[in-house]
Structure 1
Amino acid sequence: MFWRALKLCGFADTTLFQYGIVAVFTVICLFLLLCHLHCRLAFYVTRSSACLVGKTAIVTGANSGIGYQTALNLASRGCKIIMADVTDMEDSKLDIIKFTNNPNVFAKHLDLSSLKSVRDFASEILKSEDKLDILINNAGIGVAKNNRTGDGLHPVMQVNYFGHFLLTHLLIGLLKKSASGRIVFTSSLLAFTNNLSLKNLNFDCQNPKRFDRLFMYGNSKLSIIMAADTFAEKLKGTGVTVNSVHPGLVKTSIFTNTYTVQRNVFFQMFVWLSQCVLGRDSWEGSQVLVHAAVSRELEGMTGEFLGECVPRRKPSKTYNEELCKEIWKASEFYVGLTPEEKL
């Protein structure tokens, strides 16, 4: 239809117009190629060869994607791995044992969309483990069909942020028993695309603004950075370090699941093109998580936001101390922390 209209106006028959179309197309292709090359050249593989024999790590969202690759890497270093996920992980667990010859790999059910499940999981860990060396809060979702979970929280915020916020509080005691406990939160550069405020921390279903849902994922990832920074500050002097990371645009099922809920052709085309140009596989995305969890270069480093395994600038709202305090207090309320569980 568009091409026919151009013909009627006499534009499509001109050589100049045809050359212009070719030129624009060429420029777009060159731009996409440069973006792709930049992404590939900027990619950083952790050079740490740290041995983790005698250490214990928990990885959430470990059944697939970045979480699986992170668990696989840590297991190959001799670490005891506790895989935590809402789905059946038996096959993934057996694969890791087979690939690494490390029998100390265990799978435990964890549904981050249920605060009860988080508490049950933490209670089981507290009974079975003497200490915890590494906690990787990685699990996440992109969108949700419903606006509320059984706990009255928004599913995206609860799985990505609130669930990990509660889990970390409940396991702090075990982490302090480690000589050098490390907590790693998986965030994203999409934290820069947010409209986070105290009012919409749990998504205002009654009076949502037009584009609020578009910022939901970014809000959850920004909340993660804020929480990581506050944990880092509160845990100074305990030997426990806390950092958040950006793994890059990784080709995982989170995008496929997004398609099933967000049925928009233009959105799907944008995500597909972004993945083709900037996307990396799960192993590549896991490198920054592994680096943050094991690298000796990061010993004592806390409260950082790592991208390509080096500290990056954070979203501006993370430097707003008053907002960070308000978000923290509201989060304590939403997850139902008792006075004894608060830091």
Structure 2
Amino acid sequence: MELLILSCEMFIIFCVFLLLSHLYARFTMRVTRSNSCLVGKTAIVTGANSGIGYQTALNLASRGCKIIMADVADMEKSKLDIIKFTNNPNVFAKHLDLSSLKSVRDFASEILKSEDKLDILINNAGVGMAKNNRTGDGLHPVMQVNYFGHFLLTHLLIGLLKKCASGRIVFTSSLLAFTNNLSLKNLNFDCQNPKLFDRIFMYGNSKLSMIMAADTFAKKLKGTGVAVNSVHPWLVKTPIVTNTYTVQRDVFFQMFFGLSQCVLGRDSWEGSQVVVHAAVSRKLEGMTGEFFGECVPCRKPSKAYNEELCKDIWEASEFYVGLTPEERL
């Protein structure tokens, strides 16, 4: 009898905890209050076919911005939907496979030929886990799609961003950046049979690298008019999650992650708010090298403040993506 009572008490406490967690997630959520008009501006959004990327592209298009949707998927339907919803015909879809450095270079080359300037670059595309251990470039797929590909792309498009009076670059990171074991040695992680925690750390490492890259770009571009910031959109229900389930077939992991999504998760529109805010808010003019959550600056993972590690990661990244001396900042 006492065991039954104890079990009931524990169940009630657990339910109360879930309720409070859900209320916290809902009441702390902020949306951007910016009403900036973007007519005459051009933005590139990676991973724009679905999730946060799609909602971000939709929001910017509704402000009159010319949108270049960049994704590895077929974006024809998404592009037409945005044109229909916003009545903005200046929405274009271009193929970009971040798991291929050649594809990144081809995409950038096409943009450099077709565009006179670039006002906003949103490095948003990402994957949660990968079945394979290496891409054709010899890089870890999660690190390459989430980080290395964007690192290269940003370097290649810097010239266009500098042509704007106030260009902006946004790196979409994650709260899981705090769950990392990033070091120079495991930047390009190599493990034939990764365990669950290896995969979680790899994702966290890729997102921490995004923060570090944003901070270093911000320092190197100081005085050019280009602001560079990183953001975390909270826990968002996007296709990344369902794709993760196909790789990590662990029932307990799926149950835990599914429950977390139900309690703390936000939809893609809600998750896109901090991305849009960092990209368009006039209140952020002059702010660079910040990490935004809930549309306000917040503290970064401790390793992001380690200047020596940031420098080492940056230089190693230059090597991994094959930057030429002329392309380096």
TM range (shorter): over 0.9
Write the deviation string for residues 195-237 of structure 1: whole angstroms up to 9, x where unpaired. 0000000003379799433301000000000000000000000
**Higher Cα Rg, which structure:** 1
2:262 aligned residue: 276
SS at 1:216's partner residue?
Answer: helix
1:4 aligned residue: none
Q: TM-score, with normalisation over the residues of structure 2?
A: 0.98
Q: TM-score, with normalisation over the residues of structure 1?
A: 0.94
Of 163, 182, 192 in structure 1, the residue corresponding to residue 149 of structure 2 is 163
1:119 aligned residue: 105
* 2:323 paired with 1:337: yes
Gaps of 5+ in 2: none
2:51 aligned residue: 65
Write the deviation string for residues 74-129 of structure 1: whole angstroms up to 9, x where unpaired. 00000000000000000000000000000000000000000000000000000000
Of 115, 124, 127 in structure 2, the residue corresponding to residue 138 of structure 1 is 124
Write the deviation string for residues 121-169 of structure 1: whole angstroms up to 9, x where unpaired. 0000000000000000000000001000000000000000000000000
What does 1:217-228 align with in structure 2 at a 5 Å threshold?
217-228=203-214
Go from structure 1 to structure 2 and tell me whether the alpha carbon gap of 1:199 and 1:49 turns closer, same or farther (over 3 Å shift).
Answer: same
What does 1:25-40 align with in structure 2 at a 5 Å threshold?
25-40=11-26
Opposite residue 256 of structure 2, the aligned amino acid is F
* 2:60 paired with 1:74: yes
1:248 aligned residue: 234
2:38 aligned residue: 52
Opposite residue 235 of structure 2, the aligned amino acid is L
What does 1:302-321 align with in structure 2 at a 5 Å threshold?
302-321=288-307
* Residues paired across the two proteins, number: 329
Structure 2: how far apart are the matches of 1:214 and 1:296? 36
Q: Percent identity?
A: 86
Structure 1: how far apart are the matches of 2:216 and 2:193? 30
Structure 1: how far apart are the matches of 2:191 and 2:81? 42
Of 273, 281, 306 in structure 2, the residue corresponding to residue 295 of structure 1 is 281
1:193 aligned residue: 179
SS at 1:152's partner residue?
Answer: coil
SS at 2:224's partner residue?
Answer: coil
1:169 and 1:342 in contact (8 A); partners too: yes
1:195 and 1:212 in contact (8 A); partners too: no
Go from structure 1 to structure 2 and tell me whether the alpha carbon gap of 1:326 and 1:207 turns closer, same or farther (over 3 Å shift).
Answer: farther
Write the deviation string for residues 235-255 of structure 1: whole angstroms up to 9, x where unpaired. 000000000000010001101
* 2:218 paired with 1:232: yes
Moved over 6 A (4+): 206-210
Gaps of 5+ in 1: 1-13
2:133 and 2:140 in contact (8 A); partners too: yes
Go from structure 1 to structure 2 and tell me whether the alpha carbon gap of 1:247 and 1:213 turns closer, same or farther (over 3 Å shift).
Answer: same
